[in-house]
Amino acid sequence: MIAIIGAGPAGLMAAQVLSEAGYAPTVFDAMPSAARKFLIAGRGGLNLTHAEDFDLFASRYFEAQAFLQPALETFSPNDMRLWAESLGFETFVGSSGKVYPLDKKAAPLLRTWIHKLKANGTQFKMKHRWVGWSNDVWQFETPDGLKDYSFDAVILALGGASLPHLGSTGAWTTILKDKGLEIAPLKPANMGFNVNWSKVFKEKFSGTPLKNVELSFRDINENLQSKLGELLVNEYGVEGSLIYTHSKYLREQIEQKSPFRVYLDLFPHRSESQLKQQLSAKQGKQSLSAFWKRLGLDGVKASLLREVLAKELLSEPELVAKTLKKFPLSLESYRPIEEAISTAGGLAFENLDEHLMLKDFPRVFCVGEMLNWEAPTGGYLLTGVMGQGKQAAQGLLKLLQRE
């Protein structure tokens, strides 16, 4: 029996490759149904991959790029689109380059995928939580008690430790550490950051998007990181795509020194001198709020100014213009891993060969978010894990075909 432990996208892609080659893998998972995190990702429109130039795409994996390159070449962004289309789901490229199925839904695609896997001979054993491994015996906790299995080969696709209620708890780290494998501590990735908002600001603007702003700061290597985009103000601080893109760099800075200050350009398409000139115009009998509103300065952006400037300073055009162009935002800490979209840290690449098989444990492969890599949101995570699932399954096929 070939076992795949973990029914997320990495495990399912491994099952697809093996079943299409004539094998009948068995997929085990602790949850009652497969790919729960994948379904959650579909709530915001299922972002499958990204249509940018491949070299730029590959660079999004930070220091892990070289190790992950074979997986990305095995299952490229274009391959992701062809895969979705093979299941009957046309894709399109959104304005930001993100690729979605036409209906932007995860559930129909997942249902079709699992139906195809079952038709090709893949079996599923749900509510089977992997709890141990000794010699050739693999132990699972099931509704009927502990069960032991022996396998010819195993692909582990156990996920990280983010959103543990969906199945990935990170409990596997203890099992693999006991086997002498090197594991980097699991940390949150693509998470929010805490900001000490005033009570009034929190109550009024929690859940408000801050659109068309530019975030800038220096990373731990003193490289300038800067990007235009959107973030979301919430009760604890900030989150959203602009934050997630930089979450690795921000986490590293906060681990060295907290709080860490970043800067927002609240009006990136106007210069400081233009803003100063507009703010210096005669206010007349208008209130300051009404005057600002005419300039496009209202709502959350106006209230951000009030968070950092004393009332008597709000009528000083030069200071207000400077603050709008370089708004100081102090990030106190990052949110816990349980809330994060994904995980950094995990099984070190040094444990694996070029097929993602454990060097010390032949016929045991490891794929997906459980490995020590991270990437921003935008389709990079899904493409990365599915590519690894395919890479490992192809490696296993080579092994089986040699025998």
Instruction: State the pLDDT at residue 290.
Output: 95
% pLDDT > 90, the chain? 97
Instruction: State the pLDDT at residue 284.
Output: 86
For residue 403, pLDDT beyond 90: no
pLDDT averaged over every residue in the chain: 97
Instruction: State the pLDDT at residue 43.
Output: 87
% pLDDT > 70, the chain? 100
Instruction: State the pLDDT at residue 116.
Output: 98
Instruction: State the pLDDT at residue 162.
Output: 97
User: In terms of Cα–Cα distance, which of 372, 365, 335 is closest to 186?
Assistant: 372
What's the pTM?
Answer: 0.96
Over residues 101-114, mean pLDDT: 97
Instruction: State the pLDDT at residue 41.
Output: 86
pLDDT digits (tens, 9 = 90+) for 274-326: 999 999 998 888 899 999 999 999 999 999 999 999 999 999 999 999 999 99
Instruction: State the pLDDT at residue 202.
Output: 96
Query: Domain boundaries in the chain?
Result: 2-189+337-402, 193-334
Over residues 129-157, mean pLDDT: 97
Question: Is the CATH number 3.50.50.60 carried by domain 2-189+337-402?
Answer: yes
Instruction: State the pLDDT at residue 347.
Output: 99
Q: Give the whole-angstrom CA distance, residue 308 versus residue 296.
A: 19
Q: Give the whole-angstrom CA distance, residue 368 versus residue 372.
A: 9
pLDDT digits (tens, 9 = 90+) for 163-182: 999 999 999 999 999 999 99
pLDDT digits (tens, 9 = 90+) for 28-87: 999 999 999 999 988 889 999 999 999 999 999 999 999 999 999 999 999 999 999 999
Over residues 110-136, mean pLDDT: 97
